[in-house]
């Protein structure tokens, strides 16, 4: 990698390793801490150089805005949309109104984490799945393809809430004549319905705030 300085190579290797392990690239502050830089300017100077040389690219994410470019099959990256809704308000367990679905952001993730280009992310807005280690502010990775959940799977389901279509994350159980959607929090009662459209299975979790 002769076209990079030694420090640029170290930073690129760190960004690739961090992205593969966490599912998202490091922030400027995280790179400052890793390389003991006293100012963010030192980081951004190297990032600009890496971008000009084609080793990283900018994304729409402000905090984690630079990701390694796929120049090696070991670092295959996939663009995954974060779906949201126009209104930021949501009831317990409800993440978005399917009629108002929009792409809030796009995350470039390693294929080993993203799994499939057809997957998407949605943001968790409450603590109804906290005992499954899904916290408010997390993003769950959802696979909407060939959905046929087994009992105990965590799913994204469409429910009717007083005439409004809403989307919620719950654990899925199918009984003889009904479907039960169960929270992982004893403070939330189960939802029992005759039929529930399943949007997708939850296949991963991304946590930006530790």
Write a three-state SS string for the chain: CCCCCHHHHHHHHHHHHHHHHHCCCCCHHHHHHHHCCCCHHHHHHHHHHHHHCCCEEECCCCCCCEEECCCCHHHCEEEEEEEECCCCCCCCCEEECHHHCEEEEEEEEEHHHHCCCCCEEEECCCCCCHHHCCCCCCEEEEECCCCCCCCCCEEEEEEEECCEEEEEEEEEEECCCCEEEECCCCCCCCEEECCCCEEEEEEEEECCCC
Set 66, 85, 123, 170: catalytic member:
170
170 belongs to the catalytic site: yes
Q: Does the annotation mark 128 as catalytic?
A: yes
Catalytic residue of the set 66, 85, 123, 128: 128
Q: Which residues are known to be catalytic? A: 128, 170
């Amino acid at each position: 990698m002769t076209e990079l300085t030694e420090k640029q190579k170290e930073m690129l290797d760190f960004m690739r390793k961090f992205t593969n392990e966490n599912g998202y690239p490091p922030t400027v502050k995280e790179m400052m801490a890793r390389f003991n830089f006293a100012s963010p300017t030192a980081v951004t100077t190297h990032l600009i150089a890496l971008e000009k040389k084609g080793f990283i690219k900018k994304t729409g994410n402000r905090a984690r805005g630079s990701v390694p470019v796929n120049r090696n099959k070991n670092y295959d990256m996939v663009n995954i949309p974060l779906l949201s809704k126009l209104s930021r308000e949501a009831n317990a367990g409800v993440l978005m109104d399917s009629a108002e679905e929009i792409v809030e952001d796009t995350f470039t993730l390693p294929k080993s984490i993203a799994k499939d280009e057809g997957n998407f992310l949605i943001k968790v807005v409450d603590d109804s799945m906290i005992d499954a280690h899904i916290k408010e502010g997390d993003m769950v990775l959802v696979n909407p393809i060939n959905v046929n959940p087994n009992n105990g799977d965590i799913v994204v389901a469409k429910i009717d809430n007083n005439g409004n279509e809403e989307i919620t994350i719950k654990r899925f159980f199918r009984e003889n004549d009904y479907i039960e959607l169960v929270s992982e929090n004893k403070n939330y009662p189960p939802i029992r319905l005759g039929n529930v459209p399943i949007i997708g299975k939850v296949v991963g979790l991304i946590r930006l705030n530790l």
